[in-house]
Each structure stands twice: as C-alpha cells, then as structure tokens.
Amino acid sequence: MIHAPAVLASIAIAPAVAGGGWRMARRMTADPARVLVGRSPGEAARLAPLIFNLCGAAHARAAAAALGLPAERDAPAQAAARERARDHARAMLVDWPQALGAAPDRASLGLLARPDGAPALARALAGDAGELCAFSPAELDAWLAAGETETVRLLARLRHETDPAFGRAGLPLLTPQVLATMIDTSPDAPPPPLWGRDGVGGEAASASLAALTSSGATPPTLPSPARGEGARGDQPDGADARHPEPGARGPLPLAGEGWEGERASSARAPREADAGAGPLPISPPGPLPISPPQAGEGDLICAGQPALHFETGALARLAGTPLCRALLAAEGPTLFARLIARLADCLLALAGAPEPELPAPAGVGLAYAARGLLAHGARLQAGRVAAYRVVSPSAWNLAPGGLLERALATLPAGAEGARLAPLLVSAVNPCVPVAFLPAEAAHA
C-alpha cells in the first residue's frame, strides 16, 4: 500500500466560452495523510480528525477502525451524526437561499448549538415532515404545496420551475463492500485506487473488479437519461412530467425496481455506465458484485488501467427509502432528488437515527460523512504507522469524468445554467473549496 502522490485541494468552475458546457480546473496538493506515518496508532488516531477536520468526527471513526483501536460505540456515532446535520443544515439555510437570491437563515442554523435544538431545527427546516424518508409521492406533493418553511418553499419552487433534465446524472453507487475491497493494506499489495489526473483507478481497483465480477451482475446505478427525457417540454399538453400518462413520452420507466437508462446524448458528457439492478438498500447485506468499466471510454484511464466511476452521497445512501425510490422511479437522479435527499439525511441525523455498522477488513475503517462514504487504510509495522491512505467521498464525486462533471454537462447555457450550477455543486457537496469564475477566466 502506498500513499496518494497528491490529493485534490480545490476546484474552479467556469462556463466554456465556445460550445456551451463548463470547464473545471483542479488544484492538487501533497497528501496530508503522510503526516501520520511513523506515529503510534494512538497518536495517529488523535491527529487524523485534526488534519481532516471538515468532517472530523467521521474521520475519527474511520481512523480508529483502520488503526485497530477500540472505539466507544455511541459517542463517536452521535458526534458524526451531529456533524452531518450541521453540514446539511448550513447548505440548506445559507447556501441554497443565497444561490437563489434570498436571505440566509442564520438564526435557525444557530439552533443546533443548543442542547435541545435538534427538534427545533428539524421543524425550522421541514415543518412536520419528520418522517420525510417514508413519504409517498402524494405526501411529498402535499408537503411541497403546503410550503411550511422557507426550505420547503425553495424546493417547491425549484421543482416547479426547473426542467428535471438539468443536472440529472447518475453513476453506480459506491457501497461499503466495494470500497473496503479496494483498499488492501498488506505490505505487498498493489497501489490502492488513486485519485489522479484521469480519475480513480489502478492495479488494486482492477483486481477488486475482477474479484467482484465473478457473478456477472451489475451494481445499483443512478443513471442519466438523455437530455429532454422526462422534461416538461416533452410532455403532451396537460401532462405532468413527474406523473406521465400511460404511453406519454416522459421519464424512462423502471424495469422491476431499477432504471433502464440511456446514454447521455450530450457530446460533452462522458459515456454512462451500464444500468444497475435497482436502488441500493441503506445497509446492503453481503458483497455486491459489479461490472467492469466498458471498453472505449476514451480518456477515462489511470496508469494503464480502466478508471472507476462511482458516486456516493446523501442520495446514494438513501436510495432504498420510500421517498428516494419513488423520486428515482419518477424522474431519475435529478437536482431536486439530490437536494431533497440532503434534507432527508439531515432530518435522520437530527432524529438520532442509528448509524449502520460498516464492517471492513483489518487495516480498513469506513464511516458515513455528510458527503458520502469515507475510507481510511492503515498498515502498521513494529507498532508504528508504515503507510496510511484516506479515500474521501470527493475522490469519486469530483474525479475527472465523475458525477460533478457529468451533472454540469447537463445544465443549459446562459443565465439558467449559472443559476443552477451552485445548487448542483451543493447537491454533490464537495469537501474542497469551489470557486465559480467568469467565462473568460476558463481560457486565461
């Protein structure tokens, strides 16, 4: 096991001058996990959440597991849930209103600082929708129409005004089983999946794929229908894009419980992975076999091996809940679905929903952060850390050809795309700073 030669430090996004679309520039930096090498397991476990402090509680849980240290069962999980709720709440109360030209609600955000503030914050965000994850489509529509809070009204406005094709993109879901398999901590192991110029890939990734594809099944996938499929403009007069009439051209239907999907029609978007077998349960039992990347994916290559593209985040985590299953069936992995999944995940965290157990091999620690699945890998030698690796959710979501790039490629040109881009970035929820630049900066 080796360290990452570099990790993502920040990204800059700007509209492309010619041909529409968006350009993304990435700035890399030295891997901060190198600081943990040579330290005792206890010292490394204390330092890890300080170094990776954006989701420090989640990193603390993953580090303790990777280093083989006993961890308190309740306190770290409660801290991670509170951290997840704070991250989501700040986006909903500050970032989303600002993106749409409204005033942020910092007063409600302050409720989380109170010992008894979680129920009050949940009401400030969603009104009486404490069981949002269990909503049926009819209950969701009624809740949106009632508009009890500013957040609910913002979501209702976005759903009413925005073509669902804008921002709709999906990839195979990153499961704990797949992620744990990709991090081999033995001394003679090949390099782990590396975030590099061309995405996530490498020998270990390909070996993991070979081991996991023996059954020939496919992973759960949030695919991307072609632009315009499911858009309101494609419906017959009087038809609702979210509830199409039989035979009407609308969202692609489910085959059983999973989208059939189509390749993205935009030349700017990389080719989509094959459709999956259905939405992912929150805690899937047993390893999940996955399909290898398809041939002909052009530049999606890393170190001579196929790159891997998965997604992780709130929608991936909650894809098996009644609310998200219904949304994915009706319109696919849209911007609206991703934003409402962040709200639902926040409400679960505020309600103290138990964190699922994430078993992993020795030397690997997994945890759910607000941004998705997080992994730490450690190799110890003579009581000291000999190698350490952190694979963050953004290693997948922000990879070249990954979720953010594919979703940005579906946005329209001009003012509408510029309005939706910050919301789309918030829906993907990067763990690094993101700067939006004017179009001319993309070619400076």
Half-sphere exposure at residue 113, Cβ-oriented, CA atoms within 13 angstroms: 6
Q: What is the pLDDT of residue 252?
A: 19
Give the residue carrying structure tokens 């001579």.
304
Answer whether residue 189 shows pLDDT above 80.
no
% of the chain residues with pLDDT over 70: 68
Q: What is the pLDDT of residue 184?
A: 62
Residue 385 within a domain? yes
**Alpha-carbon distances, residue 224 vs 168, 181, 288, 426 (angstroms):** 6, 27, 21, 19
Span 155-172, average pLDDT: 93
Give the residue carrying structure tokens 């919301």.
423
Q: Are 218 and 290 in contact (CB under 8 A)?
A: yes
Residue 327 within a domain? yes
Give the residue carrying structure tokens 């935009």.
266
Residue 123 within a domain? yes
Residue 59: its H or E element: helix 56-66
**Alpha-carbon distances, residue 174 vs 80, 297, 394 (angstroms):** 20, 20, 12
- How many whole angstroms separate alpha carbon 427 and alpha carbon 410? 14
Residue 49 within a domain? no
pLDDT band at 440, cuts 50/70/90?
low
pLDDT digit string (tens) for 190-211? 544 444 333 343 333 334 334 4
Q: What is the pLDDT of residue 16?
A: 81
% of the chain residues with pLDDT over 90: 49
What is the overall mean pLDDT for the chain?
74
User: For residue 407, how many other CB atoms are within 10 A of its CB?
Assistant: 30
User: For residue 193, how many other CB atoms are within 10 A of its CB?
Assistant: 29
Answer whether residue 226 shows pLDDT above 80.
no
Answer whether residue 25 shows pLDDT above 70.
yes
Answer whether residue 113 shows pLDDT above 80.
yes
**Alpha-carbon distances, residue 107 vs 76, 155, 412 (angstroms):** 27, 20, 34
Q: What is the pLDDT of residue 185?
A: 61
User: 175: Cβ–Cβ under 8 A, 6 or more apart, which residues?
Assistant: 219, 220, 280, 284, 288, 373
Span 339-367, average pLDDT: 92
Answer whether residue 253 shows pLDDT above 70.
no
Give the residue carrying structure tokens 């308190």.
72
The region of weakest confidence among 12-16, 261-265, 348-352, 397-401 is: 261-265
The region of weakest confidence among 67-71, 153-157, 171-175, 272-276 is: 272-276
Which of these, 177, 47, 135, lies nearest to 321 by C-alpha position? 135
Q: What is the pLDDT of residue 195?
A: 41
pLDDT band at 3, cuts 50/70/90?
low
Name the residue range of residue 418's domain. 76-430
Q: Which amino acid type is present at position 271?
A: R
- β-pairing, 7-15 with 434-436? parallel
Residue 4 within a domain? no
Task: Give the count of domains, the chain.
Answer: 1
DSSP calls for 314-363? HHHHTTTSHHHHHHHHHH-S-HHHHHHHHHHHHHHHHTTPPPPP----TT
Q: How far is CA 412 from the centre of its chain?
A: 22
Q: Which residue has the higher pLDDT, 164 or 240?
A: 164
Answer whether residue 85 shows pLDDT above 50.
yes
DSSP label at 34? G
Q: What is the pLDDT of residue 93?
A: 97
DSSP label at 442? G
Q: What is the pLDDT of residue 428?
A: 96
User: How open is the CA angle 184-189-191, to the nearest 5 degrees?
Assistant: 85
Answer whether residue 250 shows pLDDT above 60.
no
- How many whole angstroms separate alpha carbon 356 and alpha carbon 284? 10
pLDDT digit string (tens) for 266-307? 222 222 222 232 322 222 222 222 222 222 222 223 333 445
Half-sphere exposure at residue 217, Cβ-oriented, CA atoms within 13 angstroms: 10
Answer whether residue 157 shows pLDDT above 50.
yes
Q: The tokens of 4 are what?
A: 């990452």
**Alpha-carbon distances, residue 87 vs 121, 282, 350 (angstroms):** 13, 20, 12
Answer whether residue 241 shows pLDDT above 60.
no
Q: What is the pLDDT of residue 76?
A: 72
Q: What is the pLDDT of residue 220?
A: 56
Backbone angles phi, psi at 427, to 5 degrees: -65, -40
Residue 22 within a domain? no
Residue 110 within a domain? yes
Residue 323 within a domain? yes
pTM to 2 decimal places: 0.77
Q: Which residue has the higher pLDDT, 136 or 357?
A: 136
Which of these, 344, 413, 429, lies nearest to 55 by C-alpha position? 429
DSSP calls for 126-180? HTT-TTGGG--HHHHHHHHHH--SHHHHHHHHHHHHS-TTTT----BBPPHHHHH
Task: Assign 22 to helix, strand or coil.
Answer: strand
